[in-house]
Amino acid sequence: MARIDPHSYCDSDQPAVTWFELRARVDFERRVLDGEVTLALAPSAARDRGGPLDLDSRGLVVTAVRGGGGEALPFELGPSDEILGTRLRVVLAPGIERVSVRYSTSPEASALGWLLPEQTASRQHPYLFSQCQAIHARSVVPLQDTPHRRVTFRAELDVPAALRSLMAARFVERRPATAHAATAHAAAAHGDKGAERAIDHWEMPEPIPPYLLALAVGAVESRELSPRVRVWAEPGEVDAAAREFGGVEAMIAAAEGMFGPYDWERFDLLVMPPSFPYGGMENPRLTFLTPTIVAGDRSLVNVVAHELSHSWTGNLVSNATAEHFWLNEGFTVYAERRIIERIAGREEAELHAAVGRAELLRTLDELVGQPDLTRLRGHLDGIDPDHAFSIVPYEKGYLMLLALEQQVGREAWDGFLRRYMQAFRFRALTTEEWLVFLERELPGAAERADVAAYLHLPGLPSSAPVMRSDRLERVLVLPPSVPLEREGARLTPLEWRLYLDHMPRPTPAETCAALDTRFALSRSRNAEILSGWLLLAVESDYPAVLPHVEAFLGQIGRMKYLKPLYRALLSRPATRPIAERAFARHQAGYHPIARHVIDVMFATVP
């Protein structure tokens, strides 16, 4: 037996699932998907031989498992592991090519956010969305949930006809829901109240790691931004979104100029409800985005550049496991900043890098007690990837790649990037495989850039690049004082963020008061500014902001904002009750991943 991923029961000696067909009925009343998935097994000696096939699952209720001829196959659900979920072992007879699993998801499925109408912008219709990275796909479909196993798929989603399903896949067609073998059964069993249903057909021709499986169901509309870009959002939000993301086609062109053709046919965007737990998620063909980046001034579109970059680094070339997460995120931050540089100039890219570097140094400080989480090459056996998550693989990875670029020069580095993406297209690789490739292509560069220190030592090598630019200097001379009105008016949101992040902790109450009076920061509509300000104020024990903090914690579910605020509130005796009250009040509106991560924080922050 050969396990290949500490976060999957997948066994590399067993047949590989390379393709699946999913039929699922979306039940908003019971908050479950009822359905059936047929998994196709690649030809192999293991398939000829038969024997166990171990799949990942989490919270799934499995009612039947059958072979390609409809014959029942023995199966067994193992004990439930807090991190991995439950191993679903099917016993294959020799030569079996397909396995069908009939099952239902749990109402607590860790990937699925089920929203009541009042948790959406329209307040009229329910909404469902998935977030499968890192290891939540198994709570939606039983499969080999590791990036080592790429799959293509087809899916039929049975949904209320008033809603629309979206998937990170190619839309085929919508059919009215009539006698549908797998799902009619579920409809009958759970008393369909006669509401009109429809079945949306999807197909995904490009093989993806399972963490990129994604779906959403809601009342959404779209606007065309270019022949290959469309933005989806709730009706009241969609025009603002279309304005915000008007520059996306130019980003794709910039990325293609550097990394080669865009391989996923379409790059559509879905602006999620506020409880979406991330800034963005690079679901192929359909990036999911937090609504907090629709700021009205395109100031936060770097998140789109980031998710777009994953089309090459992450989706085309994937980390082998969560232990090599930096390969996804470090490269993607690097690519994101190259796009920003092309589109908005070098100083803007430097500013982003400076914000990132400051955030990295703060995080490294916070993680001094957990040095293992600050090495790029992770060791995560027994550790939940959602709890290991931090900015470190992003920004430390970025700095390492920048150091390499500076060692070999941009031209040689760009050549390397293109060859790397070509060599590992539609594959997953480890840090070790990457190192071998790097050494072969750019001999000696790793050593000169201190690569081993980034990968294997905690903290940041002293040789790490430092950002410099005039714009940066102009902002960094401001703290700890309060900018004049006209100075403040000239700052972009990113510069505000940089300024707030560099203010001393604590900042005196009079300074906080002056800042808020002069610039109305507590009423900022830019989530980066607002969250930066609220954090500064909480960390300065400035009580006037607390009502705003509590309100903010109920308005958004993006973990980048929730986590630091909860941590700051929790670590101060005076504000701990506020964290408790806010969580009690708002947790039902958070996505299960965010709910769990914050719940664990309550137990671990002293």
Among 278, 264, 227, CA closest to 152 = 264
Which of helix, strand or coil describes residue 497? helix
User: Minimum distance from CB of 78 to ligand BES (Å)?
Assistant: 25
- Which CB atom, from 31 or from 560, has the smaller least distance to ligand BES? 560
When computed from its CA atoms, the radius of gyration of the chain, rounded to whole angstroms, is: 24
Place of tokens 């070509």: 422
Q: Does 323 bind ligand BES (CB under 6 A)?
A: no
Please identify, among the stretches 53-61, 154-162, 245-253, 305-313, the one whose residues bind ligand BES according to the rule CB under 6 A: 305-313
Provide the residue type at 301 as one letter. Answer: V
Q: Does 309 bind Zn ion (CB under 5 A)?
A: no
Q: Does 455 bind ligand BES (CB under 6 A)?
A: no
- Which CB atom, from 131 or from 407, has the smaller least distance to ligand BES? 131
For 3, which DSSP code? B
Rounded Cα distance, 533 and 529, in Å: 6
Contact 19, 29 (CB under 8 A): no
Provide the residue type at 577 as one letter. Answer: P
User: Minimum distance from CB of 519 to ligand BES (Å)?
Assistant: 25
> Which residue sits closest to ligand BES, CB atoms considered?
279
Q: Which does 38 bind (CB under 5 to 8 A by kind): Zn ion, ligand BES, none?
A: none
Question: Is 21 one of the catalytic residues?
Answer: no
Q: Which of residues 361-400 bind ligand BES (CB under 6 A)?
A: 389, 394
Q: Which does 27 bind (CB under 5 to 8 A by kind): ligand BES, Zn ion, none?
A: none
Please identify, among the stretches 302-310, 376-384, 545-553, 576-584, the one whose residues bind ligand BES according to the rule CB under 6 A: 302-310
User: Minimum distance from CB of 300 to ligand BES (Å)?
Assistant: 9
Please identify, among the stretches 279-287, 528-536, 561-569, 571-579, the one whose residues bind ligand BES according to the rule CB under 6 A: 279-287
Q: Does 359 bind ligand BES (CB under 6 A)?
A: no
- Which CB atom, from 62 or from 111, has the smaller least distance to ligand BES? 111
Task: Tell me whether residue 195 is exposed, middle or buried, using C-beta atoms within 10 angstroms of its C-beta: 0 to 12, 13 to 18, 19 or more.
Answer: exposed
Q: Does 332 bind Zn ion (CB under 5 A)?
A: yes
- Which CB atom, from 6 or from 160, has the smaller least distance to ligand BES? 6
The kind and range of the H/E element at 372 are: none
Please identify, among the stretches 3-11, 83-91, 170-178, 278-286, the one whose residues bind ligand BES according to the rule CB under 6 A: 278-286
User: Minimum distance from CB of 303 to ligand BES (Å)?
Assistant: 4
- Which CB atom, from 561 or from 583, has the smaller least distance to Zn ion? 561
Rounded Cα distance, 135 and 83, in Å: 9
- Which CB atom, from 311 or from 332, has the smaller least distance to Zn ion? 332
Q: Does 244 bind ligand BES (CB under 6 A)?
A: no
User: Minimum distance from CB of 62 to ligand BES (Å)?
Assistant: 26
Rounded Cα distance, 110 and 279, in Å: 18
User: Residues 103, 127, 211, 394: which is the catalytic one?
Assistant: 394
Using DSSP bridges, classify how beta strands 112-115 and 127-130 pair: parallel, antiparallel or unpaired.
Answer: antiparallel
Q: Does 306 bind ligand BES (CB under 6 A)?
A: yes
Task: Tell me whether residue 256 is exposed, middle or buried, using C-beta atoms within 10 angstroms of its C-beta: 0 to 12, 13 to 18, 19 or more.
Answer: middle
User: Minimum distance from CB of 34 to ligand BES (Å)?
Assistant: 26
- Which CB atom, from 282 or from 348, has the smaller least distance to ligand BES? 282
Rounded Cα distance, 404 and 413, in Å: 8
Rounded Cα distance, 167 and 203, in Å: 9
User: Minimum distance from CB of 332 to Zn ion (Å)?
Assistant: 5
Angle at 329 between CA 323 and CA 335, to 5 degrees: 150
Provide the CA 501 distance to its chain's centre, in angstroms. Answer: 24
Rounded Cα distance, 344 and 469, in Å: 14
Q: Which of residues 160-199 bind ligand BES (CB under 6 A)?
A: none
User: Minimum distance from CB of 452 to ligand BES (Å)?
Assistant: 25
- Which CB atom, from 307 or from 495, has the smaller least distance to ligand BES? 307
Q: Which of residues 110-139 bind ligand BES (CB under 6 A)?
A: 133-134
Q: Does 482 bind ligand BES (CB under 6 A)?
A: no
Task: Tell me whether residue 490 is exposed, middle or buried, using C-beta atoms within 10 angstroms of its C-beta: 0 to 12, 13 to 18, 19 or more.
Answer: exposed
User: Could you tell me the two tokens for 305?
Assistant: 């550049």
Question: Is 398 one of the catalytic residues?
Answer: no
Instruction: Show the DSSP H helices in 520-591 as ranges.
Output: 527-539, 546-555, 559-570, 576-586
Secondary structure E strands in 412-503: 427-429
User: Residues 36, 234, 237, 307: which is the catalytic one?
Assistant: 307
Among 183, 311, 166, 273, CA closest to 230 = 166
Q: CB pairs under 8 A, 24+ apart, for 417-422?
A: 417/258, 417/259, 418/259, 418/260, 420/317, 421/259, 421/260, 421/312, 421/313, 421/316, 421/317, 422/260
Provide the residue type at 171 as one letter. Answer: F
Please identify, among the stretches 96-104, 122-130, 332-340, 571-579, the one whose residues bind Zn ion according to the rule CB under 5 A: 332-340
Q: Does 329 bind ligand BES (CB under 6 A)?
A: yes
Please identify, among the stretches 267-275, 327-335, 345-353, 589-597, the one whose residues bind Zn ion according to the rule CB under 5 A: 327-335
User: Could you tell me the two tokens for 264?
Assistant: 């996923």
Which of helix, strand or coil describes residue 488? helix
Give Cα separations from 300 to 19, 224, 228, 292, 599 (angstroms): 37, 20, 22, 9, 29
Q: Does 511 bind Zn ion (CB under 5 A)?
A: no
Contact 239, 86 (CB under 8 A): no
Please identify, among the stretches 264-272, 299-307, 490-498, 540-548, the one whose residues bind ligand BES according to the rule CB under 6 A: 299-307
Q: Does 251 bind ligand BES (CB under 6 A)?
A: no
Q: Does 282 bind ligand BES (CB under 6 A)?
A: yes
Residue ranges binding ligand BES (CB under 6 A):
133-134, 278-282, 302-303, 306-307, 310, 329, 389, 394, 560
Residue ranges binding Zn ion (CB under 5 A):
329, 332
